[in-house]
Copies of this chain bind each other. A is one copy, B any other.
């Protein structure tokens, strides 16, 4: 027989401060939206955060507002990390390394991708374009590289995003061309890190 506390906890979420709860929901929403894009539901977010669906809406106003806040935060982190890397001794190498570390957070990257295409929403589109633009601008400004080199840096990032989005690694062996592409990309990233 479950203890009285356990019963209470399963029916009703543990009480938190508003700020704690907001942070927790933002984290849960990042994962949920990363998987399903804007089409994911506030109910999924609520379940991931172990609270009720109306409470999610209550705290953020609307699903759209929640999505925009999650997206802003994610894009902000990317820009922040790249900005920090751009101030290191070898900015080009540091930015490459930084992006590879970012990409390990599959949720972050998939979320970014959703924003690139969910530009249906004007605000999301603005943030997405700014994030892309900053990656390019930072590379040029910090390394003094030619435009073409910076362009290749960003392009490689987009390739990595797409490979993460289509879950390429988990489907090795299904398509010869894709396998070869992954091999080449893996080699290129190893070279960059060496």
Let me know if A167 is at the binding interface, CB within 8 A. yes
Picked from B36, B38, B120, the residue with its CB within 8 Å of the CB of A35 is B120
Main secondary structure of the interface of A (DSSP, over half): helix
A167 to chain B, nearest CB (A): 6
Let me know if A179 is at the binding interface, CB within 8 A. yes
A75 to chain B, nearest CB (A): 12
Let me know if A30 is at the binding interface, CB within 8 A. no
With A155-B159, A158-B162, A162-B158 as contacts: A130 and B177 at CB distance below 8 Å:
yes
Interface string of A107-127 (1 = CB under 8 A from B): 000100110110110000110
With A113-B117, A134-B177, A184-B148 as contacts: A129 and B39 at CB distance below 8 Å:
no
